[in-house]
Amino acid sequence: MNFIKQQHTRGCCVACVAMLTGVSYEKVWRDQTSAFSGEEVLNFRPLTWSVYLSHLGFEYGYFYAEGWSLDMLIEIPRGLRYFCGVGLHEDHPKSHPDNTHAIVIDEDGTVFDPAHDAPGVMPIEHYRTLPKKLLLLGSVQDRRLLID
């Protein structure tokens, strides 16, 4: 998987989908801005992105949903890629649903963070500390590679 930084202030979902699918950031951005209002592109909306991933030939499976902190998630199963939403613990003063940030976890458990101020590729342990909180973890698989 190739690492892609977000090119817009709130383009983390676009960058993550580009990393997961191999489609260019520019194409994902164009497709999403022409299909939805700008706000849809800016926010982590699992349904919106799962439909787009399906259109590109990928399967999105919910693995984990809101409620646990990353430090409670002992082991993320290896061998799959994950499209994740990370937020701040609800006690944090900046905690808000629209402040969700998208990251990708690869088959080996390495985090790819497209944020401008993130170092890029990091171990999952970086995200296991409060005030960070995993809001959604969904596996993404190329349907062409799935075995019936």
Domains along the chain with CATH numbers: 12-145 (3.90.70)
| pLDDT above 60 (res 40) | no
Average pLDDT, the chain: 78
Q: For residue 105, give both structure tokens.
A: 């976890």
* Span 104-133, average pLDDT: 79
Q: Mean per-residue pLDDT for 26-44?
A: 73
Residue corresponding to tokens 């997961």 = 20
Structure tokens at 98: 């629209």
pLDDT of residue 130: 62
The mean pLDDT value for 35-39 works out to 61
pLDDT surpassing 80 at residue 68: no
pTM for this model (two decimals): 0.82
Predicted confidence (pLDDT) at residue 114 exceeds the cutoff of 80? yes
Residue 1 has pLDDT above 70, yes or no: yes
What number is the average pLDDT over the span 18-33? 92
Phi, psi dihedrals of residue 126, rounded to the nearest 5°: -60, -30
* SS3 state of residue 36: coil
Closest CA to 109 of 67, 69, 59, 73: 73
- The set of residues, in sequence order, having a beta carbon less than 8 Å from that of 8 and lying 6+ positions away, is 14, 29
